[in-house]
Structure 1
Amino acid sequence: MKDRLNLMAALSENMLKVNMLLSVFFLPGTLAGCGKNPALRITTPKKIEALSGSCLEIPCIYDTEHTSYNSSRTIYGVWMKGAINFWADPNIVIFNSSGSVNTYSLNIDGNLREKNCTTLFPDVKTSYTDRYFFRIENEPFKASACDDPLDITVKDSPWTPSINIPVGDLKEHQSVTISCSAVTPCPHSPPELTWNLQQDSERQTEKNTDGTFTTKIQETITLSDTHDGYNISCSARYPVNGGSKTAETEVTLSVSYAPKDTSASISPSGLVSAGSWVELSCSSRAKPPASFTWFWNSKHGAINLSVGQVYSFNVTEGEEYYCEATNDLGNQRSVIFLLVKDDPVFGLHIILKILGIMLLCSTVVIFECWFRFSNKPKKEKEDQIYVNTVTETKP
């Protein structure tokens, strides 16, 4: 019984010591804000990533309505690492703007009197990955933002840049602004962006709504069919201590366009005999794929013969045919002449067309030559004749 009483006395004594120790740390206002109604709140990203060897800027705004807070008094900002019960570990405080502690060489860039607690980590290490808490000391007011922890993750590899293309179907003749952007945890040393579009694109570092930063370049281009399937590549080079770290990405453009390079062909080629079987075929490059319609250019105008890429029929006489390739963005046609043996009328028709084309081309060439000659400035005479007069004196 006596031993039991001694044990209870020892426990009571230990409890008393613990209570005395806690009373030291729980001075009025020391942990104000760790209950249901926090005395201190901060606005900062809940999670933020950093790159080892680079710097990290933490956007931070604090707010308190506690009556004992007075901005006219000295204000110190404190960062703690790990758990909020920092009284259990004297090494948990990594920074105090009073100068008493600065484990990571931090610096509060913000003006604490204006409730700006923006903080800069100048040289981030992978060991910095942890949970952090912010605290304000404004005697007698002291409060920790227990409900607003900040999780920092430090990476060894940089972030892949993002190529942004306007949402929706891309079509030829459309002007679009394409941008490449990269995460910028250190706006004091933003990444360098390069891509295979215009190289003089100006780099811009912009502030996001949550206080973080993004660096980007952009270019406005007018799309054509040549951009379909074009690969845009962009790389981001991050400066770090001792060199740089680079990541790149690539996207492929998908551009719709009207039919191009439409071409009609005939099989068998060359002269064919009346009554023989021929096949007309048509091809075109288009996106979305084109549909084909065959027409006969008769004396009374174009007559629709068939829908489809191929049209087959028995030859009766020489005629002019054409196919028309069509999709939602436009159409294009290709003409073909069917030459039939012993068809003098159509043969004469073809000859006259060829002669007409030749005459037109000759006229254009002659006019061009005449125009250039008539506007050519006359060459001034560069040579001059000089007459020398010699006077003889007789003795």
Structure 2
Amino acid sequence: MKVYQTVMAALTEHMLTVNMLLSVFFLPGDLTDYCYGGKPALNLTTPNNMEALTGSCLEIPCTYETDHATYDSSKTIYGVWLKGGAYFGANSRVIFHSSGSINNYSLDLIGNLKEKNCTTLFPNLTTKHIDKYFFRVENGGYKATACADPLQITVKDSPWSPSINVPSDLKEHQSVTVTCSAFTPCPHSPPELTWNLQQDSLRQTEENTDGTFTTKIQETITLSDTHDGYNITCSAKYPVIGGTKTAETEVTLSVSYAPRNTSASISPSGLVSAGSWVELSCSSRAKPPPRFTWFRISRDGDMNVSVGQIFSFNVTEGGEFHCVATNHLGNDSSSRICVTTEDSPRSPSINVPSDLKEHQSVTVTCSAFTPCPHSPPELTWTLQQDSLSQTEKNTDGTFTTKIQETITLSDTHDGYNIRCSARYPVIGGNKTAETEVTLSVSYAPRNTSASISPSGLVSAGSWVELSCSSRAKPPPRFTWFWNSKDGATNVSVEQVYSFNATEGGEYYCVASNDLGNQTSSVVQINIEGSFPFLIVLLAVIVAIVLIWLLILVW
């Protein structure tokens, strides 16, 4: 114990002497052996291991700390680097002394020792630099080596591959930032980064939290389905003595996107016999792979008939089908395909714009599937008979024959049935299919009229019912008005207006919808014994008398 205390005292006060004595008894070994079991009088903060590139430089981030009483920052401070061991003495491998007395590897201590910063630049490294290094501080009577904080330097011939950082779970329409980063052992001579993204990306060299450096370039891109499978390549070119050394990294983007290019096919193609098997197949480009749903087009709309990429069934009648590909990012529908049986032709389709209104000029189209454009079907309908027939090629390579007519709508077109027939020429004659649609046209009120019950004279205080009728689509709203001395007065907003008659008067109704309004003629309520009524009666009698007098005179 006494020997140990003597050794420890000598270690802190006379490090040089103690190191020389202990070197006789101990050989360098693991980390604790460098301090010979004692507490170090100098602590160093630096990476435990650092890699360098042959022919390049290496900046060692370095700070030190000591709480020893003899350390005095007001005095001159020297920094010393030892190679291979912490021992400092006659046989120690001192490679650098900041006094300038020793500098075997042309090191440059660029840190400020007064601020306890011992950052050092190693230039032009070779494999002979591979070893453990220890830092030592000499400050007047204080001389100590950071024996517990060795720095292992490794020198390699091939540069480090850069890293490409891409966010996870990429989806189309996302805006993401892609970063290419390269380890930078020497920030004074950083690597040049290039990639197959935008070439003018700004290069930045940043200090990491541990004092090392990283050079990076960034680019923000908006993803689409075309980026899925795209290879991003980034190269890091390091300047070294006599030229450059290059390393490259490549990553492949995996981008999720909604279904694209959805198409449907049929086997066998062409006419099929009733009772035979048909296979419909759906394909789509999507990520993740889509689910498939098959629909049959009927007069009542699309009917779900199957779930799965393949839909096989026994044909009993012709029809139109399409498939929908769906994943969590969206869906896409194929074009329609037709299953045509040999026994029955396909019915034509009549296309009429939705939300029809009077006074609109609309184009009505009758279309028929045309399996043989050289012998197209003959189309006829209940509209103008001289409509020009045209056979057109569709985007999927099939053909359609159509006729069109432009009509100006009126209320008389509401409920009008348009029938279109397609007559297909076949061996031995022809086969005909027909389609009918009924127009639904909105129009303003028409034929608005008002009626009274009971009609004729009514007794004062009796109930009277006024009724308004009108032809309109959508059905109209009704408003009743009374012509008073002060003008027209709104008295009711119902189709039927019932009230207790106390005096006579004129009434009329107005029918309204979102397309217009119309006013009825006036109805008169006459009260028995009322003054207006007596005046009218007297006027009638006087008129009759005058007529008879004129007859007698003549």
TM-score, normalization: structure 1? 0.79
Give the conservation status (yes or no) of the 8 Å contact 1:204–1:217: yes
CA distance in 2, matches of 1:50, 1:224: 40
More helix by share: 1
One-letter amino acid of the structure 2 residue matched with residue 352 of structure 1: C
Counterpart of 1:146 in structure 2 is 147
Shift of the 103–25 alpha-carbon distance from structure 1 to 2, 3 Å rule, reads farther
CA distance in 2, matches of 1:86, 1:80: 8
Identity level (%): 68
SS at match of 2:89: helix
Moved more, 285-294 or 102-111: 285-294
Q: Return the structure number with greater relative CO, CA threshold 8 A, min gap 6.
A: 1
Give the conservation status (yes or no) of the 8 Å contact 2:319–2:346: no
Asked if 1:183 is matched to 2:169, the reply is no
Moved more, 216-225 or 30-39: 30-39
How far off is 1:196 after superposition?
1.0
One-letter amino acid of the structure 2 residue matched with residue 111 of structure 1: N
Counterpart of 1:53 in structure 2 is 55
CA distance in 2, matches of 1:74, 1:357: 100
Counterpart of 2:211 in structure 1 is 211
Counterpart of 1:380 in structure 2 is none
CA distance in 1, matches of 2:323, 2:48: 63
Shift of the 198–181 alpha-carbon distance from structure 1 to 2, 3 Å rule, reads same
CA distance in 2, matches of 1:312, 1:39: 85
Size of the alignment, in residue pairs? 335
CA distance in 1, matches of 2:281, 2:256: 24
Q: Which of 330, 334, 352 is the aligned partner of 2:366? A: 352
Counterpart of 1:229 in structure 2 is 229
CA distance in 2, matches of 1:180, 1:174: 19
How far off is 1:342 after superposition?
6.1
CA RMSD between the two structures: 2.7
Residue by residue, what CA displacement relative to the aligned partner does 1:155-187 show, whole Å, maximum 9, x if unpaired?
111111111122x32222222211111110000
Moved more, 157-166 or 127-136: 157-166
Counterpart of 1:119 in structure 2 is 120
One-letter amino acid of the structure 2 residue matched with residue 281 of structure 1: S
SS at match of 2:106: coil
Give the conservation status (yes or no) of the 8 Å contact 1:183–1:215: yes
Counterpart of 2:46 in structure 1 is 44
Residue by residue, what CA displacement relative to the aligned partner does 1:198-240 show, whole Å, maximum 9, x if unpaired?
1111111111111000111111112222111111111110000
One-letter amino acid of the structure 2 residue matched with residue 114 of structure 1: E
Give the conservation status (yes or no) of the 8 Å contact 1:339–1:347: no
Asked if 1:300 is matched to 2:300, the reply is yes
Counterpart of 1:156 in structure 2 is 157
Shift of the 348–176 alpha-carbon distance from structure 1 to 2, 3 Å rule, reads closer
More strand by share: 2
Give the conservation status (yes or no) of the 8 Å contact 1:25–1:87: no
CA distance in 2, matches of 1:345, 1:289: 34
CA distance in 2, matches of 1:76, 1:267: 89
CA distance in 1, matches of 2:278, 2:258: 29
Unpaired stretches in structure 2, ≥5 consecutive residues:
1-9, 20-33, 352-364, 369-388, 393-554
Give the conservation status (yes or no) of the 8 Å contact 1:176–1:220: yes
SS at match of 2:210: coil
CA distance in 2, matches of 1:345, 1:238: 72
Following superposition of structure 1 onto structure 2, how do residues 15-34 of structure 1 map, counting pairs within 5 Å? 28-30=14-16, 34=35
SS at match of 1:124: coil
CA distance in 1, matches of 2:85, 2:345: 101
Give the conservation status (yes or no) of the 8 Å contact 2:78–2:98: yes
Residue by residue, what CA displacement relative to the aligned partner does 1:235-278 show, whole Å, maximum 9, x if unpaired?
11000011000111111111222111110111222334444432
Give the conservation status (yes or no) of the 8 Å contact 1:318–1:346: no
SS at match of 1:201: coil
TM-score, normalization: structure 2? 0.57
One-letter amino acid of the structure 2 residue matched with residue 333 of structure 1: S
Counterpart of 1:245 in structure 2 is 245
Residue by residue, what CA displacement relative to the aligned partner does 1:268-301 show, whole Å, maximum 9, x if unpaired?
2233444443221111111121121111111112
Shift of the 325–176 alpha-carbon distance from structure 1 to 2, 3 Å rule, reads same
How far off is 1:322 after superposition?
1.1
Shift of the 279–141 alpha-carbon distance from structure 1 to 2, 3 Å rule, reads same
Residue by residue, what CA displacement relative to the aligned partner does 1:322-370 show, whole Å, maximum 9, x if unpaired?
1111122221111223344564561465982478998xxxxxxxxxxxx
Counterpart of 1:19 in structure 2 is none
One-letter amino acid of the structure 2 residue matched with residue 271 of structure 1: L
Moved more, 69-78 or 274-283: 274-283
Counterpart of 1:263 in structure 2 is 263
CA distance in 1, matches of 2:176, 2:229: 16
CA distance in 2, matches of 1:188, 1:63: 26
Unpaired stretches in structure 1, ≥5 consecutive residues:
1-23, 359-395
One-letter amino acid of the structure 2 residue matched with residue 98 of structure 1: S
How far off is 1:314 after superposition?
3.3
